């Protein structure tokens, strides 16, 4: 299957700093990528839909100025958590579809990134 | 809007036995896709099985099979001959079938396989 790579897998930062998480589709082009946030023992919460070459579509309640999403190429989307605070500590997961094999809806997921803000 | 409900937050099963995880959904769409994903302790999301709504035959992948009841909007996952490596959080998910649409996930079921 298609491979999505996400980096870093874990990051610790000081409150007030910014952190960038990268999501790459390694063997396919992803016109759309999805960013999720997951709290312990809970489901995945969709934060935003990232579209190549255009602005991301954010879910209600997600601060677009805090969670900056850039999808500059067909294989790379980035999530930047700006001015991070301890409440932003969470597990962030990206995903993408490989439409070359048909629109089956299957999402391929990155390994996730554990963010801890001190 | 579509909703997906998993009514079993936790389940456990003995190794080599069979377990069934429940999932119901609500939609007005006639064609759609349903998925079961597993998330082991590594937190990597892995596709377990996929079902296309227009196919009446239940999907099967080795020890994993589904019972898809379209009229009842039910999509349960059966795991046969459970193995320790099956221990994971299992998520049921719905896809409307329109390119660019999101996956809607259920709340998840934590499955523990006991030796």
Q: What is the mean pLDDT of chain A?
A: 92
Based on the number of CB atoms within 10 Å of its own CB, is B47 exposed (0-12), middle (13-18) or buried (19 or more)? middle
**A91 and B CB contact within 8 Å:** yes
**Strands B64-69 and A57-58, sheet pairing:** unpaired
Q: Does the distance separating the beta carbons of A42 and B97 come in below 8 Å?
A: no
pLDDT above 70 covers a percentage of chain B that reads 98
Q: Establish if A28 touches chain B: CB-CB under 8 angstroms.
A: no
User: Of B33, B45, B97, which has the smallest distance from its Cβ to A109's Cβ?
Assistant: B45
What pLDDT, on the 0 to 100 scale, is given for residue A63? Answer: 95
| The predicted structure's pLDDT at residue B20 | 98
Phi, psi of B93 (to 5 degrees): -145, 150
Cα distance between residue B50 and residue B32, in whole Å? 11
Note whether A33 and A27 are within 8 A (CB): no
pLDDT in tens, B68-86: 999 999 999 999 999 999 9
Q: Which of B112, B92, B88, B113 is nearest to B104 (CA)?
A: B92
pLDDT band (50, 70, 90) for residue A60? very high
Closest-CA residue of B relative to A109 is B45
Closest CA to A113 of A15, A23, A47: A23
Interface test with B, best of A35, A37, A43, A48 (most B CBs within 10 A): A43
Q: Which of B45, B93, B101 to mutate to test the interface with A (most CBs of A within 10 A)?
A: B45
How far is the C-alpha of A95 from the C-alpha of B70, rounded, in Å? Answer: 27
Q: Nearest by CB to B100, from A32, A44, A104: name it.
A: A32
């Amino acid at each position: 299957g298609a491979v999505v790579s996400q980096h870093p897998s874990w990051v610790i930062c000081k409150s007030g700093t910014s952190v960038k998480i990268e999501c790459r589709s390694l063997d396919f082009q992803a016109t759309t990528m999805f960013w999720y946030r997951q709290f312990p023992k809970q489901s995945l919460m969709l934060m935003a839909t990232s579209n190549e070459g255009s602005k991301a579509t954010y879910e209600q309640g997600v601060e677009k100025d805090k969670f900056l999403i850039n999808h500059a190429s067909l294989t790379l989307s980035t999530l930047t958590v700006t001015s991070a605070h301890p409440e932003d500590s969470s597990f962030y997961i990206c995903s993408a579809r490989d439409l070359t094999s048909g629109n089956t809806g299957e999402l391929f997921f990155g390994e996730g990134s554990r963010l801890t803000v001190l | 809007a579509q909703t997906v409900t998993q009514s079993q937050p936790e389940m456990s099963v003995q190794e080599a036995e069979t377990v069934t995880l429940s999932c119901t959904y609500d939609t007005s769409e006639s064609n759609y896709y349903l998925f079961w994903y597993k998330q082991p302790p590594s937190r990597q999301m892995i596709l377990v099985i996929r079902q296309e709504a227009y196919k009446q035959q239940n999907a099967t992948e080795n020890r994993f099979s589904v019972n898809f009841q379209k009229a009842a909007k039910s999509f349960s996952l059966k795991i046969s001959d459970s193995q320790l490596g099956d221990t994971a959080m299992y998520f049921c998910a719905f896809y409307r079938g329109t390119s660019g649409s999101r996956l809607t996930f259920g709340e998840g079921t934590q499955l523990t396989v006991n030796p």
